[in-house]
Amino acid sequence: MPDSPAARGWSLLAQRRDDIIAGWTTEMATALAGRMTSGELERDARDMFDALSAAGAHEARGINDSAFAELRTLLSDVARTRARRGFTPTETAVSVFALKSAVLTVLQREADLSLYEFYAEFSRLVDDLGLFMLETYAQVRESVISEQADALLELSTPVVKLWDGIVSLPLVGTLDSARTQVVMEKLLQTLVETGSEHAIIDITGVSAVDTQVAQHLLKTVMAARLLGAECIISGIRPQIAQTVVALGIEFGDISTKATLADALLLALRRSGLDIVARPGQQ
Amino acid sequence: MDRIPILRIGDILLVSIQVDLQDQLAVTLQEDLAERIVTTGCSGVLLDISGLEIVDSFIGRMISTTAAVSRVLDAETVVVGMRPAVAITLVELGLSLDGVRTALDVDRGMALLQQARQADASESAQADG
Amino acid sequence: MTDSVSVESEEVRRIATDSDVVLVRQSVRSVAVLAKLSLVEQTKLVTAASELARNTLVYGGGGMVRIAMISSAGRLGVRATFVDEGPGIEDVHLALTDGWTTGIGMGLGLSGAKRLVDEFDIVSGPGRGTCVSIVKWTR
């Protein structure tokens, strides 16, 4: 056993540790073209190599073996960092695969053909590790993207206070299911937080209203009513009005106004206020 | 088993639900309220559900029934403090809570009850006169 | 759905009394929080679970629920499976239609719960008990 190709291979790797780490770092630096300092890369390489050597010497069965636990954690961390810093999948994967050429260089210098058997196993192992790392990377990338999407959604749905107890929600662009839900939640939350009893949902900027959008609007109004607030829908353009009628959508007893101004006046009056012209100033 | 406390503030009964509502507790509350409305002769019930994280069909029905029973006993019910997430869920469930008046908070709920009482009073005055 | 679903954790709760329904709500809520569901998603899921737990108790004569945190394709979710050995539902199709105005609690419970979740499965028949499974994924 001590003389098996595997044992000799791992022992050789341990001996040539510094060369391998140096070679690996250089390969990574080339691929990452200055995105990370060689100091950072060297530290990553050293940590990963040491964890790999320690695990490899154990004759473990595949990377899910407990011997590889530390290495997996390390790879996950590296993948996470790369993902959060916006590295591409290739830039991330090369961090692991570059190890292969560094090791191959060292093995070739030995002129010992039996080490090929070891390299074949080693290469398979590195492939598995690389794939594992990419899995983590992919998961983190997805969550980063969805966080950004949420943030964008937040920014693009402002609820504006028009007067004491009156807020307005200008909807712009296309309304998909996810967006409308976020918008609905934000409006209701704002009504409660500001103690507003009136909400004006302005759809002047909405390109098209289909049955689904109309249903979402209706649900929003019903939910607001359950909270103790009333909604007015404004900015209904002629085309939208025709679409709504053609689709058979009933707005029922929900007030609708052509313009935001009309809606504001209605909301003010419902609040017990009114707008009057001051004498001698027209 | 605990009962949900019913407070009397002048002519109004105030109920504030702060616990996770067990079915039996809800039924008992409904019965207690009906009894207190009659014994106190109050004109309004303020149901504060700001502490409820969940309103399912059973609790929704309890709220509707409470409002209906109160009305028969000549008292108005106003529900206040519903959480946005609960409102959204109720709408999705298809529970409209028709016939139940709502207000954003206790203050507004009280104001609503007062308006209702005044409207009632003037109506009675007209009928008598 | 070709993505495989794996179970991250699971707990079982019996449903035999009124207060068990409350405990089920709380358990489902905890798992939903761990799975990082949004507040509205949590509320919808717990409300659906409350409906189904009550059905299990009232119509199923008691039973149990398996609450699991699951994951698939990098997303986390919560699955709750309600099982009872009760009389079973005669006409599942009918039970799934909205029955609010008829005042028959079960009609609303099932169809309402279905609208609140992402996945809804029910197996039931006269004398065969009932098994309802619901899943809510993070967005």
Q: What is the pLDDT of residues A42-79, one digit of tens each?
A: 998 999 999 898 888 776 667 888 888 888 888 888 89
What does the domain layout of chain C look like in residue ranges? Answer: 6-137
What are chain A's domains? Answer: 5-151 (1.10.490), 160-270 (3.30.750.24)
Q: What is the mean pLDDT of residues C87-114?
A: 69
Positions of chain A with pLDDT lower than 50, given as ranges: none
Q: What is the pLDDT of residue C24?
A: 97
Angle between helices A17-32 and A89-110 (to 10 degrees): 150
Domain holding B68: CATH number?
3.30.750.24
Whole-structure pTM value: 0.73
Residue B90 resides in a domain: yes
Q: Is B80 on the interface with A (CB under 8 A)?
A: yes
Residue C37 C-alpha, separation from nearest chain B C-alpha, in angstroms: 13
B129 has pLDDT over 70: no
Q: What is the pLDDT of residue C136?
A: 97
Q: Do the bridges between strand C63-72 and strand B76-80 make them parallel or antiparallel, or are there none, so unpaired?
A: unpaired
Q: What is the mean pLDDT of residues C8-24?
A: 95
Chain C residue closest to A182 (CA)? C40
Total domains, chain B: 1
The rounded distance, in Å, linking the Cα atoms of A198 and A243 is: 26
C2 has pLDDT over 70: no
The rounded distance, in Å, linking the Cα atoms of A269 and A253 is: 17
Angle between helices A69-84 and A38-56 (to 10 degrees): 160
A149 contacts in chain C (CB < 8 Å)? none
Task: Name the residue among C22, C40, C116 with its Cβ closest to that of B93.
Answer: C116
Residue A165 C-alpha, separation from nearest chain B C-alpha, in angstroms: 11
Residue whose pair of structure tokens reads 């080339």 in the numeric block:
A30
CB B70 within 8 A of CB B31: no
Residue B30 C-alpha, separation from nearest chain C C-alpha, in angstroms: 17
The rounded distance, in Å, linking the Cα atoms of A56 and A125 is: 9
Which CATH number does the domain C6-137 belong to among 3.40.50.720, 3.40.50.1820, 1.10.3470.10, 3.30.565.10? Answer: 3.30.565.10
Beta bridge partners of B79: B47, B102
How far, in whole angstroms, is CA C37 from its chain's centroid? 16
C100 has pLDDT over 50: no
Residue percentage of chain C with pLDDT more than 70: 91
C102 confidence band (pLDDT: 50, 70, 90): very low
**What DSSP designation does B19 have?**
S
Residue percentage of chain B with pLDDT more than 90: 75
B114 has pLDDT over 50: yes
Chain A residue closest to B87 (CA)? A223
Mean of the per-residue pLDDT values of chain C: 88
CB atoms within 10 A of CB C10: 13
Burial-class residue A171 by CB neighbours within 10 Å (0-12, 13-18, 19+). buried
| Domain, as residue range, for B118 | 6-128
Residue A222 and residue B102: Cβ atoms within 8 Å? no
Q: What is the pLDDT of residue A184?
A: 87
C101 has pLDDT over 60: no
Backbone φ and ψ of B78, nearest 5°: -125, 130
Q: Where are the alpha helices (DSSP H) in chain A?
A: 5-15, 17-32, 38-56, 69-84, 89-110, 115-155, 177-194, 211-227, 238-246, 260-270
Backbone φ and ψ of C40, nearest 5°: -65, -40
A contact residues 190-249, partner B, Cβ 8 Å cutoff:
191-192, 195-197, 219, 222-229
B69 has pLDDT over 60: yes
Residue B1 resides in a domain: no
**More confident position, B126 or B40:** B40
